[in-house]
Chains A and B, each alone.
Chain A
């Protein structure tokens, strides 16, 4: 019974989230475009699926995954702390935390619905030359590296801007060495990775870590993991594209 209440509550919440979008769409459709969308029945069914799907997805996450993820983040950070008895924080006392951060960053990104949406569209638009799963793998790898580095930053207490600005510099260099076609998609993949699944887990991880490392404040140092998870996928997607074209070039030169 309790489960049904949660389901209904989340459903209502999702409906309220979607309401402004539907209102804007209707307003412009009726007042400006004055042309009915093709196949309104199918689109309505699609919206019902999206609402229902998102509701179930969120309820499942809240009931099953988030509590575990948060408990694990707290347990792991405090377990790492027990190993480090001295007052001096050593970065290598937290290796387990970095490993967990990378693994959970990768795993949550693979399940991220907005990334699935963008990668399906990219495969469609590119006529299959960009594989949806390859793209998602590249993005997830970027998030994994980014989040692990983000945790290292929290432990060492080094300033966030150094890392992010250095990452920008790498992205800029990569941009001028990559094929034009991949650049917009790579920039987009930075924004789509951090959404429904990843943000709450990363927030819990960052706060748990900042609270347990001596000398760090969860308020000031807990921020920043999302920023890492948004910049590093840009790098990894550009690298993925460079690797794919390099392999294609190698194959091409072999057959000649």
Chain B
């Protein structure tokens, strides 16, 4: 029995490898085309690139297989367990921790925070010293992580209450638009970009499975209509909070 299951995992993995190869084909084609047709320079370090591509294909196949085996079932099991327990407070606490905890250490966010501190120093919004920049970058990271925590809380609350998503998101867009009018110029680019960088590769599957799991275990909720949307909140609230951060003197 055990051996059979391992066998199916291996077959599935083999299929994932073929999928991964197909997923990466466009990147290879684009780079090869522009290299040959436009840049017309000899390709640097072909062996290294080939080794790297093998790693990428293998990695992508393992990741997708791991999603199906681990992250998706776990996210849904947790959602069902919370729905069964029926404690909204515990669920919302979990939602906040998940959003905050996964964002605060996100490498892409750390990079954007450092860049934003440079911009702020250039624009004269903060002092140019390294200490001032580090403080600015750290506070910005905390603001974004807090806003993502809040986003998951809001998104889960929406699933529980059955609020329609689009009014909330459109309300958010209107708020972003209004705040843009009053925010200092140098923060706008950072704020707009911060929405996109917060959702990491492990957070997305887990949060999606949580949403879909919740929506399918609560009576009267539709997984398609109510289960998706958590990521949408997580990409909207950082924009609002970073704009606000830039407006506070």
Chain A residues at the B interface, C-beta cutoff of 8 Å: 3, 13, 16-18, 20-21, 23-25, 27-29, 32-33, 35, 37-39, 42-65, 67-69, 71-72, 75-76, 79, 96, 100, 103-104, 106-108, 110-111, 113-114, 116-118, 120-122, 125-126, 160-161, 164-165, 168, 171-172, 175, 180-181, 183-185, 187-188, 190-196, 199, 203, 219-227, 229-230
Contact = CB atoms under 8 A, between A and B. Distances in A.
Q: Which of A39, A160, A188 has the most CB of B within 10 A?
A: A188
Nearest to A195: B201
9 contacts: A46-B65, A48-B66, A53-B62, A57-B60, A60-B51, A187-B229, A188-B232, A191-B231, A226-B192
Contacts of B205: 114, 117-118, 121
Contact of A121 (B55, B98, B208): B208
Given A49-B62, A79-B38, A32 B56 contact: no
Interface of B: 9, 23-24, 26-27, 29-31, 33-35, 38-39, 41, 44, 48-74, 77-78, 81-82, 85, 87, 90, 94, 97-98, 101-102, 104-108, 111, 115, 118-119, 122-123, 165-166, 169-170, 173, 176-177, 180, 185-186, 188-190, 192-193, 195-206, 208-209, 212, 223-232, 234-235
B202 A188 contact: no
Contact of B173 (A27, A114, A168): A168
Given A72-B35, A76-B38, A111-B27, A37 B77 contact: yes
A65 B27 contact: yes
Interface of chain B, main secondary structure: helix
A38 B200 contact: no
Which 4 A-B pairs rank lowest in CB-CB distance, beginning with the nearest?
A: A46-B70, A64-B52, A223-B189, A49-B66
A164 B192 contact: yes
Contacts of A79: 38-39
Q: Which of B30, B61, B63, B81 has the most CB of A within 10 A?
A: B63
Contacts of A107: 26-27, 29-30
Nearest to B103: A20
A203 B78 CA distance: 36
Contacts of B195: 191, 226-227, 230
Contacts, number: 345
Given A27-B97, A76-B34, A117-B201, 11 more contacts: A33-B82, A42-B73, A57-B60, A111-B27, A114-B199, A116-B60, A118-B231, A125-B224, A184-B165, A184-B228, A219-B118
Contacts of A72: 31, 34-35, 39
A229 B108 CA distance: 15
A54 to B, nearest CB: 6
A126 B201 CA distance: 22
B59 A38 contact: no
Given A17-B202, A64-B53, A183-B165, A113 B63 contact: yes
B78 A104 contact: no
A223 B192 contact: yes
Contacts of A225: 193
Contacts of A20: 101-102, 104-105
Nearest to A188: B231
Contacts of B54: 60
A47 to B, nearest CB: 5
B101 A49 contact: no
Nearest to A217: B122
B62 A160 contact: no
Given A37-B78, A172-B173, A188-B229, A220 B186 contact: yes
